[in-house]
Amino acid sequence: MPHRRLFRILVLALSAVLLAVSVRFGFADAWLDQYAVPASAELQASPEPGDASAAQASESGADVPIAPKPAVLSNRVTEYHISVVLGDDGTLTGRQTVTWRNPGRKPVSEIYLHLYPNAFSPGSTFLKESGGQLRGDRMKPGSYGSMTLTALTTEQGETLLPRLHYTQPDDGNASDRTLATFRLPEPVGPGEKTTLLMEFKVQLPQVFARMGKAGDFVMAGQWFPKIAVYEPAGTRGRASEGWNTHQYHGNSEFYSDFGIYSVRIDVPEKTKVAATGFQTRPAAIKDGRKIYQFYADDVHDFGWAASPSFHFVEDSFSSVGVPGVRIKLYIDPLHKDLADRYMHAAKSALAKLGEWYGDYPYSTLSIIVPPADANGAGGMEYPTLITAGAAKSGSPGYDLERTVVHEIAHQYWYGIVASNEFEEAWLDEGFTSYTEDKLMASIYGVAPNPTVEASYMTHPEPLKLDSWRYSSSDRYAENVYMRGKLVLKAMEKQLGEKTMNKIMRSYFQKYRFKHPSTADFQKVAENVTKAKWNDFFQAYVYHGQMADFAVESIRSEPAEEGGYRTTVLLRRNGGSPQPVTVMFQFADGSTLRKTWDGVQNHVQVKLNHARPLSFAAIDPSNSVILDNLRYNNYLKAEVPEKARTRLNIGLSKIIDGMLGILAW
């Protein structure tokens, strides 16, 4: 009995010490709120002194808490506890403690930080490469943004700010401050952790490129100092472990480690906040301010948006692969009557994704519809949170649904699989665009036309390419989004939809929460099909080719034994070998179909028939998805000599006559 009493006393003392430490840094609520009580019990609790309006703050339904799930799904390399205040002047003032665990096998002596808001500062690489515009949206002149790190200390209070310096490993641009590094007082051993305390201030630009302020609307994306990814050997084929460090570029998006986020957001009283994860308690109102507390685990980013104008709608949903999720809509007033369309798109997309690929592992999904003057915040993905297209029209077409299902598909390929968008953006954008087409066809009957889409591919470039190395932003989008999905569609056409679905599901299941590479995806395809895909990936992924099958020439001549002997020359000018159908039509209207294996670069086909050949056509059913030069797939037989002579004389007379008129 005395031992048990002593044990209880020690536990209580330790708890008091931990609480005191957390209070010192202002994170007591964040620490405690990881262990939220069930929603029913929380709502019945009495408000704290001075928080008499807390119950009223929950009237919209946005503040109903959800208890976290105990399962650990990722390696949880990082743990962030952040407290941020939104100022009336468009600033964010924050402080955070972040704990980083060394996932490698060697001691680590330095840390790299992404300071993304500095992309909106004069001279940044992002502004130089983008020209101040992104996806048709232009940055307003003089509307700059920035991030200032005002404090950086160890857990013991030693300042590290003098050690901080900016680095530009990609382009050497000394004016770029989106990536910084500093040396630690002591190396962090394998599996060991270090905890850092930071204070920072962000000046929000006018909404542009997923970030900023427009009137009373705020989009906070990439808004806090974020530790870069330290990749152990073997990650994405890496030979030796080390930091994956890149600046913020005109085309690039992001890459982060999985972890835990506990975030306290302090906003003006009338403001509603949508954020990654879920609330662990109803928002409290005090002294004209409203304080939210959010928690998320097994995510690699945290985004949020705020506005007093949001129209809020919430519903619960579950299906096969979706154990149970609360879908929360934060809608610009112009679209408040369209809530059913947003909700239907979200539920339908989640149901299909869960059925096709696997479980949606989170308990919430928030959808933000920005106002018209915040167009740059639209069409973006964050873990458990997406932004739809900005509300510009009161009666939008299918673009509303297409944007929603696209961004929800990102929850799987960006959010859960978590590819490196700096170096292999197609693994996110191409996969998401492919999935978007499948969702739109399955849910709304809106099918794509890959033949037409392939014709847009005027400048194919490799898919496995650093995002900033594409020759332009248009070429980046053309390849990473459009050609990326066409490559997957081409695989599906060769294999059949059932086998392709198996590849995609196997890839998702094997690499969820693991940062896979293009090579990893190829291995899955080969394991499922029991075939090699080297030629295909070399041509279309690593070398940026398109398919090009052509009828080079046709020659028909009378045969001594009667009838006609025809020789047709077929060529494969680009792409990887694949079987292709060739149709031959003769002068009597009869047709013949043959299959060419496409292995050789060229082949001669010899035909004997009672009548001469009229024309030959390769792939008449448009089965070769990646053929973007279809004008040479068809060729008529050679014109007889007499007709060709008459045509030449006629053309000569027409040209002479036109020249005479011009001279006169």
Q: How far is the C-alpha of 489 from the C-alpha of 625, rounded, in Å?
A: 7
Q: How far is the C-alpha of 400 from the C-alpha of 55, rounded, in Å?
A: 34
SS3 434: helix
Neighbours of 567 (CB within 10 A): 14
Measured torsion, CA atoms of residues 102, 239, 412, 499, in degrees rounded to the nearest 10: -150
Integer-rounded Cα Rg, in Å, for the chain is 30
Beta strands (DSSP E) in 530-596 are 548-558, 564-574, 580-586, 591-596
Q: How far is the C-alpha of 605 from the C-alpha of 429, rounded, in Å?
A: 41
Q: In the numeric block, which tokens belong to residue 650?
A: 């006629």
SS3 408: helix
Beta strands (DSSP E) in 269-394 are 272-275, 278-279, 284-286, 289-299, 304-307, 311-319, 322-331, 364-369, 380-382, 385-387
Question: Which is the catalytic residue, given 129, 231, 381, 407?
Answer: 407
Annotated binding residue at 3?
no
Q: Which of 352, 296, 403, 298 is nearest to 34 (CA)?
A: 296
Tell me whether residue 382 is one of the annotated catalytic residues: no
Annotated binding residue at 253?
no
Backbone angles phi, psi at 135, to 5 degrees: 50, 45
Annotated binding residue at 344?
no
Q: Which of 394, 335, 393, 396 is nearest to 367 (CA)?
A: 335
Long-range contacts of 329-333 (CB under 8 A, 24+ apart): 329/366, 329/367, 329/369, 330/62, 330/272, 330/274, 330/305, 330/366, 330/367, 330/368, 330/369, 331/369, 331/391, 332/369, 332/370, 332/371, 332/372, 332/390, 332/391, 333/309, 333/391
Name residue, tokens 């190396």. Answer: 187
CA distance to 39, 60, 62, per residue, from 44 (Å): 9, 17, 16
Q: Which of 225, 211, 277, 216 is nearest to 84 (CA)?
A: 225
Instruction: State the amino acid at position 496 in one-letter form.
Output: G
DSSP code of residue 481 = I
Full strand arrangement of the beta sheet holding 322-331: 311-319, 322-331, 364-369, 385-387, 380-382
Q: Which of 144, 274, 138, 275 is nearest to 209 (CA)?
A: 138
Beta strands (DSSP E) in 3-52 are none
CA distance to 34, 202, 237, 268, 291, per residue, from 223 (Å): 22, 7, 30, 18, 18
Question: Which is the catalytic residue, given 144, 481, 511, 540?
Answer: 481
Contacts of 305 (CB under 8 A, 6+ apart): 217, 218, 219, 220, 273, 274, 275, 330, 368, 370, 377, 385, 387
Beta strands (DSSP E) in 455-560 are 548-558
Q: How far is the C-alpha of 642 from the C-alpha of 649, rounded, in Å?
A: 11
Tell me whether residue 481 is one of the annotated catalytic residues: yes
**Cα–Cα–Cα angle for 82, 87, 90, nearest 5°?**
105
Q: Which of 125, 83, 76 is nearest to 101 (CA)?
A: 76
Q: Which of 111, 231, 114, 101 is nearest to 516 (CA)?
A: 231
CA 532 to chain centre: 28
Contacts of 599 (CB under 8 A, 6+ apart): 577
**Residues annotated as part of the active site:** 407, 481
In the annotated binding site for Zn(2+), the residues are: 406, 410, 429
In the annotated binding site, the residues are: 406, 410, 429
